[in-house]
Structure 1
Amino acid sequence: MKMDRLLSITMLLLDKKRIGAKELAEKFEVSPRTIYRDIDTLNLAGIPIRSTSGVGGGFEIMENYKMDKKVFSAADLSAILTSLTGFSNMMQGKELASALAKVKSFIPADRAKEIETKINQFDLDLRPWLGNRNIQRYIETTKTALQENRLLTFDYSDQHGNSTSRMIEPYQLVLKNSQWYLQGYCLNRNDFRLFKLNRMTNLQIKKEQFSPRQYQKPQLDFTNMLDTLQTNIKLRIHREVMDMVLDYCSFEHFIPDGNEHYLVDFPFIENDYYYNVLFSFGNKCECLEPSHVRTEMKRKIKEIAALYE
């Protein structure tokens, strides 16, 4: 988010005497051109930033400058505080607490009530309802390793249940669809890999440090690929599982079928994951078409029933 980056740049410049465009670009993972545009935006907002060229040059805030608390609107401050508070539920530590305290210091007394009202309109809680209780501890361990460029070791179970021991250079924590991932360079595979935190066990931070290498962010947007692979199947569902089905498609795909049921055009890919999604709806869901999906459902149901005979 641009506003978060602008605030962070301002804090860095207030904290440091001078910092270069390249260092800022690497820190925020944007281009130097974007940093120059950000600096122009901050100058237009009334923060006097000057640049110096040559060896040791960079950006700095003019001496004796104190930030005007009115530079951020009530909407700006409430958005930043809401985001930081949401992450502080999951990611603890001095950095977030300090950031929250600094942002709150920008709130003028005469606008405190207004901003508090806006913050209370949203509540971001990233903690899972149930599940692996090691995740929060693993996030903190990983965060330390990221900050100190230290190696991590862990045992990892893949989607087929095969377990391997790994040692990696950690590069990025990723939150995607309520799931946490770690992007790192695996020294066992000599390549970058994306690891799901809830598949890890015995996570340990090592004393050894590493020199960071160039890397690209993992690809996390598969919208175009999914649009190519997905087809719609016809389901008849009971209203009791409507909430579960709405996790996968929107209500515009629902057509009432009597008082208790709906007909649903459901996005589907023919793999085990999507068949298991259908099974998760239990006897409150029937696949009406296509016929080959119905046939495969029957076959899988017989396999499951055979386990209990």
Structure 2
Amino acid sequence: MKIDRLISIILLLLERKKVSAKELSETFEVSLRTIYRDIDTINMSGIPIISTSGVNGGFQIMDNYKVDKKVFSASDIVTLLRGLESVSAVTNREDIINTLVKVRSLIPSEHTNDIELKSNQILIDLQPWRGNPKLQTFLNNINEALEKQQLITFDYFDRNGKTSSRKIEPYKLMLKAHSWYIQGFCLEKQDFRLFKLSRMSSLQILNESYTLRELPPIISEFTDMMDKKQVTVKLLIHTSARDKVIDYCGSENIFPYGEDYFIALLPFIDDDSGYNLILSFGDKCQCIEPIHVRDELIRRIHNLAKLYD
């Protein structure tokens, strides 16, 4: 008796209201006697299957059991529905629809409205408001390469402005700080690397497969970023920019200063991304300390102003 057939029967019964013994026999190409034996085995495992006779008879899993803790609770199903909707940005829409149908088949009719209502109370939309129009295509292509375990190639523009052609074994798509990354084994460097999708161009899936390697637990690019010396900068913020600054330092690090300003204590890493963040607040933000950060901001502002002289 094959375990994969038993699992397939369970999934089919979860997905369908009722399935006849004959249909199961034809689907799995086994005898009716084997199907009855499989049903007995599934029953003994603790999943209650009932049978009805007659023209419209067949096997079905008890409705109440479909949301019992032995399979999935109502809360579990709500979490699954929310999660599936949130990954629609990186998965083929047809795949999402098929999976959602299967998950919703776990819901007895008397719980449908309640679970659907709760699953729609939280929306996790990973799609950017605006940005690189090729991002969605890259996500779909990389997701396909991951599923088929195929190599990908692309041109890459790194943080230092250097362009190179890369050929990698893709391993993991990651969303970090509003940006998408692919972790993969670079065949040129013979090591795992992290690539930002917005810096890619000319991405192609190759008709070449690869053998999976052991994925390292630490992503070096993120680790290097966090290992840099982090300081706290003191900013004078106009009230009109308060909500934007809260996203980066939290309301507990913002204090009133007069009628129209606030003092904000912002975690800061001394690199381009840190300075660009402060400059993105425009004339609604002034760095008070430390002095070396303030001086570097002044230098960058002067250089920017020269471009428009």
What 5-or-longer segments of structure 2 have no aligned partner? Answer: 11-44, 49-58
Contact 1:194 1:218 in 2 (8 A): no
SS at match of 1:155: strand
**Match status 1:70 vs 2:63:** no
Name 1:197's counterpart in structure 2.
Answer: 197
1:240 is matched with 240
Per-residue Cα deviation, 1:7-28 (whole angstroms, up to 9, x for no partner): xxxx9972389xxxxxxxxxxx
Q: How far off its partner does 1:93 sit?
A: 4.3
**Structure 2 residue 7 is matched with structure 1 residue 14:** yes
- Quick one: distance in 1 between partners of 2:104 and 2:151? 35
Relative to structure 1, the CA distance from residue 125 to residue 191 in structure 2 (aligned partners, 3 Å threshold; closer, same or farther) is same
How many Å separate the matches in 1 of 2:220 and 2:114?
37
CA-to-aligned-CA distance 1:248-300 (integer Å, 9 cap, x gap): 11101111112221011111122222111111111100111222222222222
Greater Rg by CA: 2
Instruction: Tell me if structure 2 keeps the 8 A contact 1:235–1:266.
Output: yes
RMSD: 2.9
Report the CA distance shift for 1:251/1:196 in structure 2 as closer, same or farther (over 3 A).
Answer: same
Q: Using the alignment, how far apart are the partners of 2:237 and 2:79 within structure 1?
A: 38
What is the number of equivalent residue pairs in this alignment?
259
Kindly provide the amino acid, as one letter, of the partner of residue 283 in structure 1.
D
What residue is the counterpart of 1:171 in the other structure? Answer: 171
Question: Does the C-alpha gap of structure 1 residues 16 and 94 become closer, same or farther in structure 2, counting only changes over 3 Å?
Answer: farther
Q: CA separation of 1:228/1:166 partners in 2, compared to 1, >3 Å: closer, same or farther?
A: closer
Q: TM-score when scaled to structure 1? A: 0.75
Determine the structure 2 residue equivalent to 1:103: 103
Q: Which amino acid in structure 1 is aligned with residue 170 of structure 2?
A: P
Amino acid at match of 2:114: E
**Residue identity in the other structure for 1:70:** V
What percentage of residue pairs aligned between the two structures are identical? 42
AA paired with 2:8? D
| Alpha carbons of structure 1 residues 220 and 239: separation in structure 2 relative to 1, 3 Å | farther
- 1:47 to partner: Cα distance: 4.8
- Matches of 2:133 and 2:176, distance apart in 1: 18
Distance in 1 between residues matched to 2:248 and 2:308, nearest whole Å? 30
C-alpha contact 2:228 2:269 (8 A) present in aligned 1: no
